[in-house]
Amino acid sequence: MRWFRSLALSLVTLLVTHSLALADFEEDYESKQWQEVEVALPVAPKETNLLPFYVSAATSNRFFIDISTLSVGADGVVRYVLLVLSPEGGRNVTFEGMRCESRERRIYASGRLDGSWSKARKNEWIRIQDAYANRHHAVLFLDYFCPFGNIVRDAAEARNALMLGGHPDNKR
């Protein structure tokens, strides 16, 4: 009987200790807020660094990533300069970030014709939508930077996906 009480007491102690440790882990996990690293604006894109990517037949715009600006931050954000050219000659240059974990994107700055940057007025993350028109962010998310929702390891992997026309994991 003494042996049984000792075993029961040991089990109760073990369960209480395990429960407390699990509660501490969950509290630590939930209390750790995602923190974005400080971002420096890149140099203006150069034509030699522009790599085109296909969006869809529904748009006549052409889309490019400046591969010299591609980076994967310690905060889990893929950053890049995007250039969109319209058939009429319109040009839109933005420095952007994409979070694969939350399927969000944001614009840090817009490019000016003189090569300088204008910081974005809206300083917020926006959910990436897979809309029929202007779906270039969804394409970058799904086909290049976040295959199956997982962030690429580094800028080289992102560059390789762009050069191949899609991430190799998507082609299996």
Q: Is the pLDDT of residue 10 over 70?
A: no
Domain residue ranges in the chain? 1-32, 47-171
Question: What was the pLDDT predicted at 170?
Answer: 79
- What's the pTM value of the predicted model, to 2 decimals? 0.79
> What pLDDT band is residue 35 in, cutting at 50, 70 and 90?
very high
Q: Is the pLDDT of residue 27 over 60?
A: no
Question: What was the pLDDT predicted at 120?
Answer: 94
Each residue's pLDDT tens digit, 61-108:
999 999 999 999 999 999 999 999 999 999 999 999 999 999 999 999
SS (H, E, C) the chain: CHHHHHHHHHHHHHHHHHHHHHHHHHHHHHHCCCCCCCCCCCCCCCHHHEEEECCCCCCCCEEEEEEEEEEECCCCEEEEEEEEECCCCCEEEEEEEEECCCCEEEEEEEECCCCCEEECCCCCCEECCCCCCCCHHHHHHHHHHCHHHCCCCCHHHHHHHHHHCCCHHHHC
CATH number for domain 47-171, candidates 1.10.357, 2.60.90, 2.40.128, 3.40.50: 2.40.128
